[in-house]
């Protein structure tokens, strides 16, 4: 799964990327090339599974994060660059960072306005894409009998509906599309159809303090738009990420923080993608796997390896909480909390799976 970080100029976009990926990406105020990193999804359940199984290999679930090189805002004003589509069109979700601190130049934060400005940019990018495609479709329909239904006319009608939505200032994800319509527009990778999380980037001095009026303004916008929102200081988070692990806890305690905010952000991003985690655990490897909410166990088997799905017989399933309470996998089987399921069983977050198969 891929997540793109977007934000207006000087919002702290690359600093947030460094915090999330625990890396050292160069800060480039003028745009350049995008930064790409892979991050592990924090999951405390892995610690117990590793301790219990003492595996040779440990593999957490991961998300790929892209720090877009797009230059939005500043001298660009409201003009969006082609970089936005080039870098992050294919991502599955967006992290939208908004400046909620006074800039080095002394400019007060206007996070509500900034969030709306970038929203307009995303909508404009989608609108341009729709209009370009509609022009091509209309050309291809020359000579087609009026009133006839073809794949092209169906696509045109849907795009016209989307165009009306975008021109009204609404995201495409606000539309109730049928599964067939979802499939039809999937290839467009519309920006305003992607799940989005807004991050209010506050100053170090504001950590642990009551929310400022600027942050409250942004929160009101997020509630109005049904967008999840987190508050953090990207600068502090990046500083924590660059410390050795044994020093991070001490730093967090000094800042009055229980855990890095990046962990909450990664977890929230994971949820926004509609993902759950299931586990496979044994002496060779303890591994966390990502799966879409509502997926049957045969899909989980295919996520592990295509042969497991092809030759699927049954799945042994024990939920993490039950297995831990019992003291381990074999103990859980003796306690009767491990059950056998056929391929239509819907996997739950925290399930530990053993797939029986034959090919």
pLDDT score of 309? 96
Among 164, 192, 220, the domain boundary falls at 192
Q: Are the CB atoms for 297 and 343 separated by under 8 Å?
A: yes
Strands 2-6 and 339-341, bridge-based pairing: unpaired
Q: What is the pLDDT of residues 65-77, one digit of tens each?
A: 998 766 565 444 4
Distance CA 278, CA 276 (A): 7
218 and 155, same domain (yes or no) = no
In this prediction, residues 172-199 reach a mean pLDDT of 88
> Are 127 and 221 in a shared domain?
no
SS3 111: helix
Higher pLDDT, 207 or 28: 207
Q: Are residues 35 and 84 in the same domain?
A: yes
Residues 24 and 100 in one domain: yes
Helix (H, G, I), strand (E, B) or coil at 157: helix
- The percentage of the chain sitting over the pLDDT mark of 70, rounded to a whole number, equals 91
- Domain end position, chosen among 245, 261, 277: 261
Indicate the range of 4-18, 274-288, 310-324 predicted with least confidence: 4-18
What are 240-265's pLDDT values in tens digits?
888 888 888 888 888 777 788 888 88
Claim to verify: residue 58 and residue 206 sit in the same structural domain? yes
- State the residue range of the domain holding 315: 294-357
Q: What is the pLDDT of residue 71?
A: 59
What pLDDT, on the 0 to 100 scale, is given for residue 8? 86
Q: Looking at the structure, tell me whether residues 135 and 176 fall in a common domain.
A: yes
- Does 204 map to a domain? yes
Is 265 in contact with 95 (CB distance < 8 Å)? yes
In this prediction, residues 327-347 reach a mean pLDDT of 96
- Range ranked top by mean pLDDT from 146-155, 220-229, 308-317: 308-317
Which pLDDT tens digit goes with each residue over 44-91?
999 999 999 999 999 999 999 998 766 565 444 444 545 555 667 788
Asked if residue 284 is part of any domain, the answer here is: no
**Predicted confidence band of residue 185 (pLDDT cuts 50, 70, 90):** confident
65 belongs to a structural domain: yes
Contact in structure between 95 and 67 (CB atoms under 8 Å)? no
The pLDDT of residue 47: 94
pLDDT score of 264: 86
Q: Residue 101's domain is classified under what CATH number?
A: 3.40.50.300
Residue 279 and residue 191: Cα distance in Å, rounded? 32
Q: What CATH number should be reported for the domain holding residue 337?
A: 3.10.20.30
Specify whether the backbone of 256 is left (phi greater than 0), alpha (psi in -120 to 50) or beta: left
Q: Could you tell me which residue, 89 or 203, shows the higher pLDDT?
A: 203
Q: What is the mean pLDDT of residues 135-152?
A: 80
Regarding whether 222 and 81 lie in a shared domain, the answer is: yes
The pLDDT-based confidence of 201 (bands split at 50, 70, 90) is very high
Q: Check whether residue 104 and residue 230 sit in a common domain.
A: yes
Whole-structure pTM value: 0.84
Average per-residue pLDDT for the chain: 88
Least confident of 200-204, 242-246, 335-339: 242-246
| Mean pLDDT, residues 280-298 | 96
Residue 248 pLDDT: 85
Q: Poorest-confidence range of 32-46, 156-170, 286-300, 333-347?
A: 32-46
Give the pLDDT of residue 32: 57
Same domain membership, residue 299 and residue 236: no
151 and 93 share a domain? no
Average pLDDT over residues 179-183: 86
Q: Please report the pLDDT score of residue 1 as a whole number.
A: 84
Run of H or E residues at 39:
strand 35-40
Mean pLDDT confidence for 325-351: 96
Q: Which of 134, 166, 192 is the last residue of a domain?
A: 192
> Which residue's structure tokens are 């696509």?
155
Q: Does 268 fall in a domain?
A: no
103 and 199 co-located in one domain: yes
The answer to the question of residue 308 being in a domain is: yes
Q: Is residue 276 part of a domain?
A: no
| Chain centroid, CA 215 distance in Å | 22
Is 275 within a domain?
A: no
Q: How many domains does the chain have?
A: 3
Give yes or no: residues 224 and 104 share one domain: yes
Question: Is residue 271 a part of any domain in this protein?
Answer: no
**What confidence score (pLDDT) does residue 30 get?**
46
Report pLDDT for 76: 46
């Amino acid at each position: 799964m891929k997540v793109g970080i977007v934000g207006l100029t000087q919002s702290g976009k690359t600093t947030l990327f460094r915090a999330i990926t625990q890396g050292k990406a160069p800060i480039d105020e003028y745009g350049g090339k995008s930064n790409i990193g892979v991050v592990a999804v924090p999951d405390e359940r892995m610690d117990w599974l590793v301790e219990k199984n003492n595996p040779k290999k440990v593999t957490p679930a991961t998300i790929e994060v892209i720090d877009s090189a797009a230059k939005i805002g500043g001298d660009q004003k409201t003009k969006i660059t082609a970089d936005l589509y080039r870098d992050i069109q294919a991502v599955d979700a967006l992290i939208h960072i908004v400046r909620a601190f006074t800039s080095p130049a002394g400019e007060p934060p206007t996070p509500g306005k900034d969030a709306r400005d970038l929203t307009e940019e995303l909508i404009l990018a989608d609108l341009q894409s729709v209009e370009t495609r509609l022009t091509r479709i209309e050309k291809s329909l020359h000579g087609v009998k009026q009133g006839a239904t073809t794949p092209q006319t169906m696509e045109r009608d849907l795009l016209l509906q989307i165009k009306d939505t975008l021109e009204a200032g609404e995201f495409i994800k606000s539309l109730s599309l049928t599964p067939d319509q979802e499939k039809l527009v999937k290839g467009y990778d519309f920006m305003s159809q992607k799940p989005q999380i807004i991050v209010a980037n506050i100053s170090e001095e504001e950590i642990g303090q009551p929310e400022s009026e600027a942050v409250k303004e942004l929160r009101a916008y997020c509630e109005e738009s049904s967008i999840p929102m987190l508050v953090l200081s990207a600068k502090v988070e990046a500083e924590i990420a660059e410390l050795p692990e044994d020093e991070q806890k001490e730093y967090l305690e000094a800042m009055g923080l229980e855990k890095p905010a990046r962990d909450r952000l990664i977890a929230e991003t994971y949820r926004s993608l509609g993902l759950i985690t299931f586990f496979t655990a044994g002496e060779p490897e303890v591994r966390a796997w990502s799966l879409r909410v509502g997926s049957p166990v045969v899909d989980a088997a295919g996520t592990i390896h295509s042969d497991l799905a092809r030759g699927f017989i049954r799945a042994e399933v024990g939920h993490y909480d039950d297995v831990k309470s019992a003291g381990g996998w074999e103990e859980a089987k003796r306690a009767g909390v491990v059950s056998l399921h056929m391929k239509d069983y819907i996997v739950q977050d925290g399930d530990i799976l053993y797939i029986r198969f034959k090919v």
